[in-house]
Structure 1
Amino acid sequence: MPPDLGRLRTLETWLTLTLDRVRQQIKDAEQRQQPAPTPPPAPTPRSRTPDWGIVQAGIGTSTTEIHRGDCWAAGKTLQPITAERARTELADGAKSCDACRPDRPLGMPPPQP
């Protein structure tokens, strides 16, 4: 060790800087050893709203009804159907919903009173 204060202070500064560099190397090595964080799961895509739907006659519904897919009056039992099936069901006597009137865009004649 040097005998004078000036050189001891220089040695202290050098050791402090060296210790800081060593500590930084330790941090970097620890970060490399940690597993990579897992990304959050992708959001589940919402199912597409069908263009047309049918509600079968049953409890709470006296007749089979045809609805547009986005009809607020369709309820939770709406089953998606094709436009072709919607036309067929309407022609066979299924009721057209009074709220969304799917018979109009399907080109069906208005219901007779």
Structure 2
Amino acid sequence: MSDTGSSRLVLLRFLERVQERDLSRTRRWIADEERRQTERRVGEARRPLAPAWLIERGPDRNNIVALHTGQCWDPGKRTKPVTMAQAIGALRQQVPACTKCRPDPALGIVN
């Protein structure tokens, strides 16, 4: 059985349609990824700055458990941001400094 030019042309046209569909799909994937990256950059730019100092409270919310830096890896669940003046005041009132992030030397207070 011999291959005619028209059947070969039909196969080539089919291949072209398949490749155009694949290229179209790939371009959609690229556009989606570019959109996600743009959204990620915008989200990072809009993210509020991490607080410099954190006060950790106990379960009853009246008891202060520790003072942390804003970059502490183990601040506990009940923290709230405080100013540098509040952090220094807390250390002067004998609030324990976190033993992991050591905020007291960062504040210039050495025990």
Which TM-score band (shorter chain)?
0.5 to 0.7
Partner secondary structure for residue 75 of structure 1:
coil
Give the unaligned 5+ runs of structure 2: 1-34
Q: Distance in 1 between matches of 2:80 and 2:64?
A: 15
Partner residue of 1:101?
102
Partner residue of 2:13?
none
Q: Distance in 2 between matches of 1:55 and 1:75?
A: 7
Offset of 1:78 from its aligned partner?
2.0
Offset of 1:63 from its aligned partner?
4.8
Partner residue of 1:92?
93
The one-letter code sitting in structure 2 at the alignment partner of 1:78 is T
- 1:57 and 2:66 aligned: no
Q: Distance in 2 between matches of 1:108 and 1:71?
A: 18
Q: Distance in 2 between matches of 1:48 and 1:63?
A: 24
Q: Which protein has the bigger helix share? A: 2
Q: Distance in 2 between matches of 1:91 and 1:46?
A: 32
Using the size of structure 2 for normalisation, the TM-score is 0.54
Give the unaligned 5+ runs of structure 1: 1-38
The one-letter code sitting in structure 2 at the alignment partner of 1:73 is D
Q: Distance in 2 between matches of 1:77 and 1:70?
A: 15
Partner secondary structure for residue 64 of structure 1:
strand
Partner secondary structure for residue 90 of structure 1:
helix
Number of aligned residue pairs: give it. 70
Q: Which structure has the larger Rg? A: 1
Using the size of structure 1 for normalisation, the TM-score is 0.53
The one-letter code sitting in structure 2 at the alignment partner of 1:97 is C
Q: Post-superposition, which runs of at least 4 consecutive aligned residues in structure 1 deviate over 6 A?
A: none
Partner residue of 2:69?
68
The 5-angstrom pairing of residues 1-113 of structure 1 reads 43-44=42-43, 45-58=46-59, 63-110=64-111
